Amino acid sequence: MRGLFPHLGLADPRETSDAIVLVHGLGRTPRSLWLVALVARGRGYRVIAWGYPSRRATIDEHAAAMDRDLTATLRTVPGRVHFVSHSLGGLLLRAYLGTVSLPTLGRVVMLAPPNQGSEVADRLRRWRAFQWMTGPAGQELGTGADGAAARLPTVSADVGVIAGDRCVNPLFGRWIGAPNDGKVAVARTRLDGMRDHLVVRAGHTLLPWRWRVIQQVFAFLETGQFHRHRSHQSANPTTA
């Protein structure tokens, strides 16, 4: 499969002993990150697509399950262990890495993470339909001091964040009141200590399926930064 995706603009990698762990978002499954997994395998990575019942537990409970399911295996990986998360998966990852030591921890890419919460969750959290659809974790996605985003630790690794700024839901867009992907404001995806931040023209749900995003995921994992055109770099270093 090596060389399958030359149009991604990345040179073929050397043989690697690294692994990539994929952590999906709320109401999704590992299949939602299938394109990341496909390209990762084609580039020589071992892929671990972790699934969890996102609507049945709190963020901390999911992080504890991640520890039980993965930590022993990840400590046997001969190379580095990288992570790619989408949406809620980024908060789970912060909870997990805040309590677990991985000596071979590599780089982390978060796609559309509500690192500072979401105004949509603020508005809907008391609605029974929202509670039923999102479960306990959905109640923790607000922007207030009682939200998970306010208490979770940052990540002691090189972190790259990719945010979308295409909103197709005008009601949610009005609630957020700032550039957003339909669920999370661009500004609220930012994480203290992150190494790089990139904004792409995409919505929240389909962000992991965009070729431009896939290209940037592997650019960061393999170089520690996102790739930008020189003409854009000085004028707007966080937009692509």
DSSP calls for 113-134: --TT--HHHHHHTT-HHHHHHH
- Looking at residue 6, its pLDDT comes to 47
Is residue 1 a part of any domain in this protein? Answer: no
Is residue 24 a part of any domain in this protein? Answer: yes
Q: How large is the C-alpha radius of gyration of the chain?
A: 17
Q: For residue 156, give the nearest of 198, 98, 87, 95 by alpha carbon.
A: 98
- The alpha carbon of residue 24 and the mean position of all alpha carbons in its chain are separated, in whole angstroms, by 8
Q: Could you tell me which residue, 168 or 53, shows the higher pLDDT? A: 53
* Number of structural domains the chain divides into: 1
CA distance 214 to 111: 10
Query: What's the burial of 42, exposed, middle or buried (CB within 10 Å: 0-12/13-18/19+)?
Result: middle
Instruction: Give the CATH number for residue 49.
Output: 3.40.50.1820
Average pLDDT along the chain: 90
Is residue 215 a part of any domain in this protein? Answer: yes
Is residue 240 a part of any domain in this protein? Answer: no
Is residue 198 a part of any domain in this protein? Answer: yes
CA distance 235 to 5: 30
The answer on pLDDT for 218 being more than 50 is yes
Domain span including residue 86: 6-233
The answer on pLDDT for 5 being more than 70 is no
Is residue 22 a part of any domain in this protein? Answer: yes
Q: What is the pTM of this model?
A: 0.90
Range 166-180 average pLDDT: 89
Which DSSP category does 180 fall into? B
Is residue 95 a part of any domain in this protein? Answer: yes
Tell me: the pLDDT tens digits for 99-128? 999 999 999 999 999 999 999 998 988 888
Is residue 239 a part of any domain in this protein? Answer: no
The answer on pLDDT for 166 being more than 50 is yes
